[in-house]
Amino acid sequence: MESCIIKSPLGFTKIIGDAAGVVSITVLNSEEKPTDIIPLELEDCVIQLNEYFEGKRKQFSVNLNPKGTNFQKRVWKALEQIPFGKTISYLELSKQLGDVKAIRAVANANGKNPIWIIIPCHRVIGSDGSLTGYAGGLHRKKWLLEHESPNKQQSLF
């Protein structure tokens, strides 16, 4: 398993993966030294994440290999279908997965998403439009949704 650390607008980001695909992308809550030489297996992921942050990429084509239960993987696959710049509620996601009563299990699986940004768990919000829970912190979720928004906020100051 290879790993690297890159600097992103939201903090230092650790990427783990191998020839089978990316296993994990996490934002770190501490300063780390960025990796000098990116492992070959992770180069494409790093390039695509940088393009995303530069506003040049809306979809990813990185091979993913997240570890989780079958149910979690099903939820994560559903998350990948949420288009760039769009959001969905936990309730809507539960309905799409065929069981409205599974909303808590869906939210739990969403919170255990090991592949930050590429599996876009940040696009899931509360039914009332609120920015509910986000493992990377609500300030990062807000930034990501604003970054993807087709209607950029203008500052008056």
CB count in 10 Å sphere of residue 34: 13
Average pLDDT rounded to a whole number, residues 117-142: 88
Predicted local confidence at residue 157, as pLDDT? 47
Predicted local confidence at residue 152, as pLDDT? 62
Q: Report d(CA 71, CA 61) in Å as an integer.
A: 23
Instruction: Report whether 68 contacts 115 (CB < 8 A).
Output: no
Count of domains forming the chain = 2
Average pLDDT rounded to a whole number, residues 120-131: 90
Instruction: Indicate whether 34 belongs to any domain.
Output: yes
- Per-residue pLDDT of 66-119, as tens digits, reads 999 999 999 999 999 999 999 999 999 999 999 889 899 999 999 999 999 999
Instruction: Indicate whether 141 belongs to any domain.
Output: yes
Task: Determine if the pTM surpasses 0.75.
Answer: yes
- Per-residue pLDDT of 8-19, as tens digits, reads 999 999 999 999
Instruction: Note whether 76 and 114 are same-domain residues.
Output: yes
Instruction: Report whether 76 contacts 66 (CB < 8 A).
Output: yes
Q: Which of 93, 121, 125, 144 is catalytic?
A: 121
- Largest separation between any pair of C-alpha atoms in the chain: 49
Instruction: Note whether 32 and 80 are same-domain residues.
Output: no
4 is catalytic: no
Higher-confidence residue of 137 and 58: namely 58
Q: Report d(CA 126, CA 124) in Å as an integer.
A: 7
Predicted local confidence at residue 154, as pLDDT? 55
Instruction: Indicate whether 47 belongs to any domain.
Output: yes
Q: Provide the 8-state DSSP code for 154.
A: P
- Boundaries of domain holding 31: 2-53
Instruction: Indicate whether 58 belongs to any domain.
Output: no
Residue 38 pLDDT class (50, 70, 90 cuts): very high
Half-sphere exposure of 112 (CA within 13 A, CB side): 16
- Per-residue pLDDT of 47-71, as tens digits, reads 999 999 999 999 999 999 999 999 9
